[in-house]
Amino acid sequence: MMKYIIIIITVFHTIIFSQTEDKHIWKPLTTQSGEKFWYDPTTFDSVVNEKLNVWILESHRPPLKFEAIDGDVFRSKTLYTINLANAKYGLKKIRYYGLTNQEIYSYDYDKYESDDIFTFPYPIILDSKIHLVLQEFLKKKRYQK
Q: What is the pLDDT of residues 30-57, one digit of tens each?
A: 999 999 999 999 989 888 889 999 999 9
> Counting every residue, how long is the chain?
145
pLDDT at 16 over 60: no
- In whole angstroms, what is the distance from residue 44 CA to residue 53 CA? 8
Of residues 75, 77, 84, the one with CA closest to residue 22: 77
Q: How confident is the model at residue 142 (pLDDT cuts 50, 70, 90)?
A: confident
β-pairing, 27-30 with 36-39?
A: antiparallel
Q: Find out whether 81 and 89 touch, Cβ atoms under 8 Å.
A: yes
What confidence score (pLDDT) does residue 116 get? Answer: 72
What pTM did the predictor assign?
Answer: 0.80
Do 15 and 7 meet the contact criterion of CB atoms below 8 Å apart?
A: no
Give the pLDDT score at 141.
Answer: 82
Q: What is the pLDDT of residue 21?
A: 54
pLDDT tens digits for 49-108?
899 999 999 999 999 999 989 899 999 999 999 999 999 999 999 999 999 999 999 999
If 0-12 CB within 10 Å is exposed, 13-18 middle and 19+ buried, where does residue 113 land? exposed
pLDDT in tens, 106-118: 999 887 766 677 7
In this prediction, residue 87 carries a pLDDT of: 92
Predicted local confidence at residue 83, as pLDDT:
93
| pLDDT: which is higher, 129 or 19 | 129
